[in-house]
Amino acid sequence: MNITINPFQQLYFSDDTQSENNYVELFSSEVLQTAIHPIFQGGNVVLSGTQGCGKTMILSLLRPETRIAYWKIGKDFPVNKQMRNFVSAGVNLTRSRIADIVQVTLHRGDEIDERELPFYFADFFNYLVVDDLIKSVETIGKHPEIFDSTVVLSNIDNFVATVARQDCWFGYLDEISTLEDLRRRISQRIDFYRRWVNGNLIDPEPPEEIRSTKTNIGEPIARTADCLREAGIISDLVPVLIRVDQIEELHRAFTDRQRKLLLLFRKMLNRAFASRDARVHYRAGTRRYGWTNPDYLGVWGSEARLENRRDYHLIDMDEELFARGETRNSIFERFSIDAFQKRVEYYFKSEAGVLKPHLAKSIFGKHPNAVDRIVQLQESKDNAQIDRALGVDSAADGGSWSEDWRNFLRNLYKQGHEGMLDAVLAAAWGRQTGGARSKRQHREDAPPIEAPWKERKWWRKERLDLAVLQLVTRCQQRFMWWGYDDIRSLSGGNITVFLHICHRIWDGFLKNESSLPEQRRTNLLNGGAIDRNIQAAGILFASNEWFNKLPEEPGGNARKNFVERLGVRLNEDMIKDIRMAYPGGNGISLAQTEFNSEVEEVLDLRVFLREAVGYGVLFESEHSSKVKSSGRRLKYYLNPILCPRFQIPEARTKEPYYWRLDELFDLIRKAQITISKLKKPMVRSNSSLPLFPDLDD
């Protein structure tokens, strides 16, 4: 097996526009569930999900180039035959650099910029999309063998004449008569914008020709679609789908001016959605934080906000497809196994032959049980060491142990690794009282003859991970993860996280292999598996990398500090919970009544946490309180991929810790995070404040 290739080296193929072939080989159709079908049908659709969940890969299916690539390779296009009849065009807000308009100014003050730059944004958007629409139509029309008669180019001159006559251009396309002229004229417009944002114009203000012909958002696109139908180039039954990918790019602001302007651009874009124009249908791809904040849903020129189900249909990939809150999920499991298989097949096609199915499961092996996780611990016969491992003299232990109990636990501990685990659970059981009303701990009686910590299956199951964590920590070892199920669970329903973990594990495997003589190497393509220690190291490495990536997004430093504090706190609380009263203590729960307060500080906290959820740092879900009268609560967990770094088991077995808001504020203060945003306008004062007021006295 070639030990220089890591099939997971390149995580993002959706960004690789040079190679649709890669896309075809690697795209997994497992993700094309019923929930996704609206993408290929009528109406506006917003595809939302955290970074790397696969949105852009799905939207790429709308591109004619992708369909052509499938045909060339001889693979069936994965979209249902009934849903293939569409024309699509679009713009990626990152790649097109359209948001760079925020860098320019009209040199007549901020107010004028805020009033007029959104119109230039709209105009730039319109021309980009129309350009791509015409290109797509041409591409489709030239390949009737692939697209049947979705597009018929025979009447193209008629189309050009009609579109040029439309008043939405305000005369910009007057005297255009051929397709070539039309495309050139549109390119000139786009070229102007590119030169403007790059500061390449001598005159900083746009010329009169541009100023006086700015178009209304969406209207030229809709008219172009109409003209295509009128000229018979597409039939009335063919939907025109307009992709707008990476909308969250409009919220990557680093200054107040940028923030304001980008928000206005966003409102302008929302206006296209709000028009609910039947002539075209929009497909937005956005990360969650680009769509969950209500402030981002305002519509230019009105007080209205975009509404789900009225203006668009929202598909939240994380929730609907991959059910992020749950650790087992059949769609994601199939998706991840398929994505893994395709990658290995693609990169090793010359030597692989026929690979066995479900390679991910055989290469990574089985999920470790609790005993597997402690097998690296040395079995001890020394009583002092055993007592330390069981925490019997821990400062957190409010009670005391009789000699009977100590000997009982020690004897249990000495019975191999199963015994060690039983001893930890027995000690926790001993510290419990058996019920909320009882104050008498089990250890105040003699050790039981039966083993309730074994017989009470659910009690035991809920506490196994916590027992392992406490035991390994007290034995000065780390909680480690390996096996396909662990990797899938840590991925948190995100395919990019899954592939990233695979990348790191495979990298560790290759490095290890390169130091071995050939006869001792492992062939993963032929039944081999990756050693659990290499997997564990790779997972830990990936977890730390993911943590260190947090500052890459706006506001990421604050989130990183918050996660660091919260992660350490949760780990500490779990270690100290020697009674194992909170086996679900790898998360926190907040009362909704408190959380929904209109107090400004709480408002800021809400925004901060929701952004953290939107950026995929935290997972959030509602739940009912264990106290019936208390109402609904919100629970928050760290993204599972962060759990190895903070030594927190990622499985959610029971209720998380119930926190009050002031505990959360306390944590935020200790992390030295400022969560309030500067929403209020700057008050301009004529008198400047002294730099060192104390010294000036």
Partner 1 sequence: MTLEQLRAKVREWDRQHTGDPIASAHYEQLLNQLQYHAEREWRVYLPAEHPDFNPNYMERLARWIGNLSDESDQKLLLEYALYISFFSHDDFAAMYRTAFDREIMPWVARKIGADLSLGAKQFHERVTYQIHKKTWFCPITDSMDINEFYKVNHLQGVGHRPHFSTLQYLAESAGNKNPGIAENISYYMANPRAESPPPPSLDLIVLLEDIVGSGSQSIDAVRWAAETLGKPVLFIPLIICPRGVEALRAEEVRLGGRLTLRPVIELRRGDLLGPERKGAEGWGIAAELECLANCCSTDVKFNYNPFGYRDTGSSLVTYSNTPDNTLPIVHDVGRFNNWSPLFPRVYRDS
**DSSP element (H, E) containing 587:** strand 587-591
Q: Is 5 in the site for partner 1 (CB under 8 A)?
A: no
Whole-number CA gyration radius for the chain: 30
At 633, give phi and psi (nearest 5°).
-135, 165
* 541 sits near partner 1 (criterion: CB under 8 A): yes
What is the Cα–Cα distance from 556 to 549, expressed in whole angstroms?
8
Q: Closest separation between CB of residue 121 and partner 1, Å? A: 42
Vertex 282 angle, CA 300 and 156, to 5°: 110
Residues 6+ apart with CB under 8 A from 246: 56, 92, 93, 94, 285, 286, 287
Least gap, CB of 522 to partner 1 (angstroms) = 13
If the CB atoms of residues 544 and 653 are measured against partner 1, the closer one turns out to be 544
Q: How far is the CB of 628 from partner 1 (least distance, A)?
A: 35
Rounded-to-integer distance, Cα 641 and Cα 544, Å: 9
Q: Does 478 bind partner 1 (CB under 8 A)?
A: yes
- Cα 222 to Cα 275, 583, 669: the distances in Å are 11, 56, 51
Structure tokens that stand for 149 in this block = 């008669």
Phi/psi for 183 (5° steps) reads: -65, -35
Residue owning tokens 């055989």: 362
- Residues 237-256 touching partner 1, rule: CB under 8 A, are none
- Is 329 or 543 the residue whose CB approaches partner 1 more closely? 543
Q: Quick one: 22 or 473, whose CB is closer to partner 1?
A: 473
CA distance 484 to 53: 19
**Residue with Cβ nearer partner 1 (73 or 516):** 516
Residues 610-669 that bind partner 1 (CB under 8 A): 644-647
Listed in sequence order, the residues at least 6 apart from 445 whose beta carbon sits closer than 8 Å to its beta carbon are none
Q: Does 476 contact partner 1 by CB under 8 A?
A: yes
Q: How far is the CB of 664 from partner 1 (least distance, A)?
A: 19
The single residue among 83, 161, 371, 568 that binds partner 1, judged by CB under 8 A, is 568
Distance in angstroms (rounded) separating the CA atoms of residues 578 and 254:
45
- 572 is an interface residue for partner 1 by CB under 8 A: yes
Total Cβ atoms within 10 A of residue 87: 25
Q: Least distance from C-beta 678 to partner 1, angstroms? A: 32
233 conformational bin, left if phi > 0, alpha if psi -120 to 50, beta if neither: alpha
Query: Could you tell me the CA-to-CA distances from 303 to 250, 266, 271 in Å, in that order?
Result: 20, 14, 11
> Is 34 or 672 the residue whose CB approaches partner 1 more closely?
672
C-beta closer to partner 1: residue 20 or 650 = 650
Considering the complex, state which of residue 376 and residue 394 has its C-beta at the smaller distance from partner 1: 376
540 part of the interface to partner 1, by CB under 8 A: yes
Beta strands 313-316 and 45-49 are parallel
C-alpha 607/C-alpha 150 separation (Å) is: 46
Minimum CB separation of residue 568 from partner 1 in Å reads 5
**x/- track of binding to partner 1 for residues 495-534 (CB under 8 A):** -------------x--xx--xx----------------xx
Give the shortest CB-385-to-partner 1 separation in angstroms: 15
Number of residues that bind partner 1 (CB under 8 A): 31
Query: Is position 487 an interface residue for partner 1 (rule: CB under 8 A)?
Result: no
Q: Please, which residue, 544 or 621, has the CB nearer to partner 1?
A: 544
Query: Which position among 477, 561, 621, 653 is part of the footprint of partner 1 (CB under 8 A)?
Result: 477
Binding partner 1 by CB under 8 A: which of 536, 607, 638, 675? 536
Residues 370-389 that bind partner 1 (CB under 8 A): 376
172-201 residues in contact with partner 1 (CB under 8 A) are none
Residues in contact with 335: Cβ distance below 8 Å, sequence separation at least 6, in sequence order: 28, 30, 31, 54, 322, 495
d(CA 400, CA 102): 67
Using the minimum distance from each CB to partner 1, give the nearer residue, 173 or 578. Answer: 578
Distance, C-alpha 92 to centroid of its chain: 18
Beta pairing partners, 623: 633
Shortest gap between Cβ of 235 and partner 1 (angstroms)?
57
Stretch near partner 1 under the rule CB under 8 A, chosen from 34-42, 103-111, 209-217, 570-578: 570-578
DSSP secondary structure string, 362-384?
A: HHH-PPP-HHHHTTTSPP---HH
* 472 counts as binding partner 1 under rule CB under 8 A: yes
Task: Please report how close the Cβ of residue 479 comes to partner 1 at its closest, in angstroms.
Answer: 8
Residue with smaller CB distance to partner 1, 515 or 685: 515
Nearer to partner 1, 133 or 566 (CB): 566
Residues in touch with partner 1 (CB under 8 A): 376, 472-473, 475-478, 480, 508, 511-512, 515-516, 533-534, 536-537, 540-541, 543-544, 564, 567-568, 571-572, 575, 644-647
